Chain A
């Protein structure tokens, strides 16, 4: 884990929409398979960089001062005319209020239908032999527990860099990714928010290219 000192020199890796005049206040690499949590102040922007390519970043966001106001995938989709997330998507809470806005995206589209992998759902998807494997819900529970959050606070999340098409007949699934090393997505906090990330440890499907890799998280202040 590395935290850079505040600097006015924007990192080349941060998209120009964010980096212009922005000050980097936090820069860290989340190891493969690990959780990460941080309060992002209103107005600050979190940029997530897919370092190795096709690494799903499972993501939940809460109002930092009232965690009952938490991310709602349905409310987010109600507010736009596509089932995918990209630049312009407003991440909404379950009372339809804006939590964060996607302000830059070099990947193109992201998922909010597929939810997080869990030891329990792995048994359904791949067989009972997978119950012992690490999973995103474990990361969410561990990370959330440091902020007073528990199982009741976990809901359908965002999967940055994960590719989940829905066919016109309703068939849906996690397929080979469209991300690549160095692609990034940036979300601006519309109020003080708590972010939970699981750097997805799934090894049974293509969401991480069958090889979980690190993800870089950079917080910038305008």
Chain B
């Protein structure tokens, strides 16, 4: 088939979807075609988004308040690097220091909130099948993501198009899709590869518990940036990453009466601040 003419090039382009019928698309349209494991009570027909982020890849989503976003490590080799921003005013964003300080806990798991710098809940972790426990944390909020410099030192390359992409480079690309720059990228959290801290403050890489998933509830409209790349403290000499399945379905933000609302006084006040914010903006009925 010729691609020397516009007619030929158009036909060539349109042939490709059919020619690749055997390959699984990375984003499913419709999302209900997803066949992977879902949370109890959720069916594929509920999904508004389904995507597989390849190892070394990234994605971003804009979701309405209340949306559930589930990220699944399907192989046990993935590390999910995550950032969240208020979709309508992205200078408000994840603040990991406030998140761990306000909640008196560095090892995040189900029941914890992801807090913004404005004293609001951006998201709640409502499900964590990695079994994050005190003696074997499976997620990390202290050590951030990887850089070009460090991945080049450790693996020979941190280039996005190379074999061992750096998390900060992936975040820079994902952020740019929303008009955000490196200036907008704060410290991030990672899921599925844990780091413990000894009595005298020494970190030790714990790693993965195998295939697992976490589910977030968006408490405000969010920009979600997600990168799949090795944890910065992963001691394995070979770059280790895996695919991440990302699915989303609609729901409601946390409201009074939900068990999460009153679980802690700090969390309750964060939900109060988020709810008041949605109301003053006219976003709640």
Contacts and interface: CB of A to CB of B under 8 A. Distances in A.
A36 to B, nearest CB: 21
Given A97-B149, A172-B104, 11 more contacts: A73-B97, A78-B233, A81-B202, A113-B101, A113-B106, A124-B273, A150-B91, A156-B187, A164-B101, A172-B100, A174-B101
Contacts of B51: none
B147 A96 contact: yes
Contacts of A68: 181-183
B106 A166 contact: yes
Contacts of B150: 75, 78, 96
Nearest to B181: A68
Contacts of A97: 149
B203 A95 contact: no
Interface stretch (A13-21, A24-32, A115-123, A208-216): A115-123
Interface residues of B, number: 52
B269 A75 contact: no
Contacts of A113: 97, 100-101, 106, 142
A78 B149 contact: no
Contacts of B198: 168
Sort A-B residue pairs by CB-CB distance and give the 4 closest, nearest first: A74-B144, A115-B97, A120-B119, A170-B107
Nearest to A131: B119
Interface in B164-203: 168, 181-188, 196-203
A111 to B, nearest CB: 10
B56 to A, nearest CB: 19
A74 B273 contact: no
B106 A170 contact: yes
Nearest to A78: B232
A41 interface: no
B183 A74 contact: no
19 contacts: A74-B144, A74-B145, A83-B142, A83-B197, A96-B148, A96-B149, A109-B201, A118-B98, A120-B273, A121-B115, A122-B119, A125-B266, A128-B269, A166-B197, A168-B196, A169-B107, A170-B137, A170-B197, A173-B101
A146 interface: no
Interface in A25-57: none
Nearest to A125: B102
B144 A123 contact: no
Interface in A153-179: 153-157, 164-174
B114 interface: no
Q: How large is the interface on A (under 10, 10 to 19, 20 to 34, 35 or more residues)?
A: 35 or more
A65 interface: no
A68 B180 CA distance: 13
A126 to B, nearest CB: 9
B142 A77 contact: yes
Contacts of A95: 147-149, 168
B275 interface: no
B143 interface: yes
Interface in A117-151: 118-125, 127-128, 137, 150-151
Contacts of A74: 142-145, 187-188, 232
Interface in B133-147: 134-135, 137, 142-145, 147
A124 B186 contact: no
Contacts of A2: none
A220 B265 CA distance: 46
Contacts of A156: 95-97, 186-187
A123 B134 contact: no
